[in-house]
Amino acid sequence: MSISFHVLLGDRDGVGMEDANVQAFERVYEVTHRLFSSCDLNDTIAAIVDVAVEWVGADYASVILFDDQGRISYEVENLSNIKPLSKRIRSHGITNRIVSSAKPVFVPDTLSHEETNPELRKSGVRSYVGMPLTVDERVRAVLYVYSTGSHTFDKHKEMLTIIARFAELAIKNADLVQNMKALATRDGLTSLYNYRYFHERLSEEIKRTRRSGGQLAVVFMDLDDFKLINDTCGHPSGDQALQHFANVCRCSVRSCDVVARPGGDEILMLLPSTSGDQARMVVRRIQEALKGNPLHFADCDEQCQPVRLTVSAGIAVCPDDSTDDRELIRIADERLFAEKRAKADALSARKSRRLWLRNA
């Protein structure tokens, strides 16, 4: 990214070249420090708004962020006398034009610009600029600066372009850090949390539960006959079954709950402020969801019937069973094994009874 120092300095008549270069570098350092001081994406977006307002003399600014599917994922705006940007976006409006074209829009006077949203005029905005913030060849966000005066940004086009380039780098940096954090805490196949993260959260929640005098439940589950799926339909079908199992579990719990895959076909759930009876209700909800959503394996023969996955579960409750994190997991695992053994014994008994009836 090339930087025009004369743009960063403005009019500096009478200032020596060396002093001018020092001041230019100081401004570059200032903007990079502010935009890159946090690796949190939300903090980065807020910093972009602040920098844009200060550097071009804007009265207001906003940034709207889009996810991989083009949906609005976050926004920051310091316009308080107007409904949020996400609520005033129109299907054929300026924002969608910027996203589709990846080109900025400069509006020197809203009174003579028919495409301007009437909401902006009502709020007193007379001029504004919309800048696409492109990351990896995709418009990741749109930056707007607004002024109550007309033609405010006529002399700031280069400066806005520079701010946009810095903003793009800052967003990309925050995205990379966020992705690295996700890789460190998530399972690659199911996107559930990994065992390390689960164990850390469990330790934290036990401490909180002991302080508050409440309860928490640990649920250990695995798929019944998972080996049969792998052996009969192949490992890709096994992976599909695990992903389906994970999605059902994820959709069956609260946002405060933690769902993790420690390995194989096992899933661990941490349910804060939950009793044993409440945890059993969650397990039943998962079992019913699996029963009501049979899975057709993509790699199986077309005549293969959809499979209804079933699961076994063991539950341990803090503080009733233990206040030690590893002990809670061990107890839940033992109860899971006991349930699977009971199912196997019941199946064996049914087979023996059918055989006896046949030979009677």
Residues annotated as catalytic are 265
Direct distance between the N- and C-terminal alpha carbons of the chain, in angstroms, rounded to an integer: 87
Instruction: Provide the token pair at 319.
Output: 């503080």
Q: How many residues does the chain have?
A: 360
- In DSSP terms, 315 is beta-bridged to 219
- In DSSP terms, 143 is beta-bridged to 63, 131
What is residue 196's three-state secondary structure? helix
CA–CA separation, 296 and 305 (whole Å)? 7
Residues 130, 144: contact at Cβ < 8 Å? yes
Which backbone phi and psi does 133 adopt, to 5 degrees? -110, 105
* In the chain, alpha helices (H): 5-9, 17-36, 41-56, 85-88, 94-101, 118-122, 157-185, 195-212, 226-233, 235-251, 276-292, 325-359
Distances (CA, A) of 126 to 50, 78, 184, 320: 20, 16, 47, 65
| Number of Cα atoms under 13 Å in the Cβ half of residue 153 | 33
| Pick from 300, 295, 224: nearest CA to 265 | 224
Residues 61, 49: contact at Cβ < 8 Å? yes
Distances (CA, A) of 92 to 67, 97, 258: 20, 7, 41
What is residue 124's three-state secondary structure? coil
Residues 92, 115: contact at Cβ < 8 Å? no
